[in-house]
Structure 1
Amino acid sequence: MTIVSKSIDIKTPVENVFTYFARPEHVSDQIKNDAVGMTVIPMDIKEGMGVGTTFRIIGDFNGKRLEWDCETTEFVRNERISAKQITGPFKHWKITNEFKSLGDNLTKVTMSVDYAMPFGPLGAILDKAKFAKSAERGMETALYNVRGLLEGNGSIPVY
């Protein structure tokens, strides 16, 4: 089991940050660097992208393509969004985004992924060698890009 966690402060109200993260494809659009690319495709959308919403993740991690389906398991407005793998390659996979208002115009976001690689001991070696580092870089890139967008240094996609 591996847990990768990254945090960032964003100079915008918690409501704005939460609303952006409530659409998982928004954040995945920002996970783009040399080692990681990710696409999220909503499949069954529940009210407000809340609990029960399902989506497919297609990820490229250092040339290794993985696909898995997820379901939103927790949706507490302006506080937390969690989703878990329902089908896919991992033994288990869960992402949690937590939001904390640090003032009228400042929000701390913490993105955590808890997963276990397939392939037994070989999977653990691959994870340590490549996957965990590329996942960490991808999360960090996404958080910096989202901060730039929400603080007005980029363009926010409209769907």
Structure 2
Amino acid sequence: MKLYKIETVQYINSSVEDCWDFFSSPKNLQTITLDNMSFEIQDFDNKRMYPGQIISYTLKPLLGIKVSWVTEITVSEENQYFIDVQQFGPYKFWHHKHFFEATETGTKMTDVVHYALPFGYLGRLMNKLIVENKLKTIFSYRHNKIEELFNSKIK
């Protein structure tokens, strides 16, 4: 199994507490996801993030094909970090860590994703041709949306 890694860092002009308030709510996932992916939460318990929480949703990541995805929040330390793991979905492996660190001007947010695709050699080829670029597009959109939501406000 070939394991891939994506790491992004973003500085947010807001307190760790405000960032945590936004990012620990599964309801806000749709806000920071590309519209053309048709992201829709199917089921979650309407509570703030906690270890063991299950969130199921559908989205159309490629070619308009609808897929189901089930995420489990495996670890959550308020105002510090949380980890979500795909339990069911398009990846063979998906492990996403979100870190929040106070800075002099706000918050440093770091995302680290490890993922693997099914289908061996074909999966590696698909990663190179499609998946890697799609994930870069998704995280670029997320970065820009967070800039719009948090960093374009006049303080």
Sort the TM-score into its range (normalised by shorter chain): 0.7 to 0.9
Deviates more, 1:40-49 or 1:24-33: 40-49
Q: Corresponding residue for 2:54? A: 54
- Pairwise CA distance, 1:149: 0.9
- Give the 3-state SS of the residue equivalent to 2:136 in structure 1: helix
Q: Corresponding residue for 1:142? A: 142
Q: Corresponding residue for 2:81? A: 80
Q: Given the superposition, is the C-alpha separation of residues 113 and 58 from structure 1 closer, same or farther in structure 2, using an over 3 Å criterion?
A: farther
Q: Note if contact 1:42-1:54 (Cα within 8 Å) is conserved in structure 2.
A: no
- For these two proteins, the number of residue pairs brought into alignment is 150
Quick check: 1:16 aligned with 2:18?
yes
Q: Given the superposition, is the C-alpha separation of residues 141 and 30 from structure 1 closer, same or farther in structure 2, using an over 3 Å criterion?
A: same
Q: Note if contact 1:38-1:57 (Cα within 8 Å) is conserved in structure 2.
A: no
Can you give the 5+ residue segments of structure 1 that lack an aligned partner in the other structure?
154-159
Q: Corresponding residue for 1:156? A: none
Tell me which amino acid in the other structure corresponds to 1:3. K
- Pairwise CA distance, 1:117: 0.7
Q: Corresponding residue for 1:37? A: 37
Q: Corresponding residue for 1:95? A: 96
Q: Given the superposition, is the C-alpha separation of residues 143 and 24 from structure 1 closer, same or farther in structure 2, using an over 3 Å criterion?
A: farther
Deviates more, 1:85-94 or 1:2-11: 85-94
Can you give the 5+ residue segments of structure 2 that lack an aligned partner in the other structure?
none
Residue by residue, what CA displacement relative to the aligned partner does 1:44-98 show, whole Å, maximum 9, x if unpaired? 4385221111112433334263322010011111110111011223211111111
The separation in 1 between residues aligned to 2:30 and 2:124, in whole angstroms, is: 25
Q: Note if contact 2:43-2:57 (Cα within 8 Å) is conserved in structure 1.
A: no
Q: Note if contact 1:91-1:117 (Cα within 8 Å) is conserved in structure 2.
A: yes
The separation in 1 between residues aligned to 2:42 and 2:113, in whole angstroms, is: 19
Q: Given the superposition, is the C-alpha separation of residues 38 and 13 from structure 1 closer, same or farther in structure 2, using an over 3 Å criterion?
A: farther
Q: Given the superposition, is the C-alpha separation of residues 59 and 128 from structure 1 closer, same or farther in structure 2, using an over 3 Å criterion?
A: farther
- Give the 3-state SS of the residue equivalent to 1:118 in structure 2: coil
- Pairwise CA distance, 1:152: 5.2
- Give the 3-state SS of the residue equivalent to 2:144 in structure 1: helix
Q: Note if contact 1:10-1:151 (Cα within 8 Å) is conserved in structure 2.
A: yes
- Pairwise CA distance, 1:123: 0.8
What is the identity percentage for the equivalent residue pairs of Structure 1 and Structure 2? 21
Q: Given the superposition, is the C-alpha separation of residues 40 and 6 from structure 1 closer, same or farther in structure 2, using an over 3 Å criterion?
A: farther
